[in-house]
Amino acid sequence: MKWFISQETIRSPFKRILERDCGEKVSLCYQCGKCSAGCPIAFQMDYLPNQVMRMIQLGMEEHVLSSRTIWLCASCLTCSARCPREIDVAEIMDYLRRRAYRKGIIPLEETEIPLFNKIFLRNIELFGRLYEMGLIGMFNLLSGEFFKDISLAPKMFLKGKIGIFPKRPKHMKELRKIFKNSEKLGRVKRSRLLQPRLIFLNVFRKFIGKVERLK
């Protein structure tokens, strides 16, 4: 694929802002490709991790933030461990996800990933540990697939894998502190509520999928 990259894009402050907020020097990347060679999700990505690094160097914020790669990254840290320039690529992917979410840029193919992430974290924050019924119920409701995996629920319930009510751990105060401190460390106000746009995209995506199947 060939792109025309304008002078304006190359001079954009994107790389500088990322390096300042993330503390990672993307400029050091010399495109050896070791991060991409070790990435277990690379085969599904639209841009390989080393390509994302190059795009950041070139100031291509829109392309990077709208890529599927940043949402598919599993934060396994293989790339960070392999990088000869000691760039924490996984941390950069995480930063890009947060930036894309704040700007409301979510590729239609991957709308379920941020939805799941948000519900998962909010679930832990509220109940102190994973409350499976809450997670499944919220995810199904907001993703527009109301009855997804519903047939598995009785079996899992009978085997004690899920409970009807949440179990709260003893040290909720400490847990809340962890969430508060992570907010401070990230230097951003964490949005507790889901973006209406994200919910709309998920329901819209399900609708499109159903129309496609009817064709």
> Is 71 or 139 the residue whose CB approaches ligand SF4 more closely?
71
Q: Which residues contact 10 (CB under 8 A, 6 or more apart)?
A: 58, 59
For the chain, the helix, strand and coil percentages under 3-state DSSP, each to the nearest 5: 65, 0, 35
**Segment near ligand SF4 (CB under 6 A); pick from 31-39, 129-137, 177-185, 187-195:** 31-39
146 in contact with ligand SF4 (CB under 6 A): no
Query: For ligand SF4, which residue of 14, 24, 34, 107 counts as binding (CB under 6 A)?
Result: 34
Tell me the number of residues near ligand SF4 by CB under 6 A.
29
Query: Which positions from 92 to 131 touch ligand SF4 by CB under 6 A, shown as an x/- string?
Result: -x--------------------------------------
Q: Does the protein bind ligand SF4 through residue 68 (CB under 6 A)? A: no
- The single-letter DSSP state of residue 162 is S
CA–CA dist 24, 180 (Å, integer): 23
Site membership for ligand SF4, residue 207 (CB under 6 A): no
Interface with ligand SF4, residue 152, by CB under 6 A: no
Long-range contacts of 206-213 (CB under 8 A, 24+ apart): 206/143, 206/144, 206/145, 207/144, 208/108
Can residue 83 be called a binding residue for ligand SF4 (CB under 6 A)? Answer: yes
CB of 201 to ligand SF4, least distance (A): 23
3-class SS at 194?
Answer: coil
Rg over alpha carbons for the chain, rounded to the nearest Å, is 20
Residue 3 interacts with ligand SF4 (CB under 6 A): yes or no: no
Q: Is 198 in the site for ligand SF4 (CB under 6 A)?
A: no
According to DSSP H, which parts of 60-152 are helical? 61-65, 69-72, 78-82, 89-103, 112-127, 132-143
Among 85, 98, 190, 205, binds ligand SF4 (CB under 6 A): 85
In the complex with ligand SF4, which residue's Cβ is closer, 100 or 138?
A: 100
Distance spanning both ends of the chain, measured CA to CA: 31
Binding site for ligand SF4 (CB under 6 A): 29-35, 38-41, 49-50, 53, 73-79, 82-85, 87, 89-90, 93
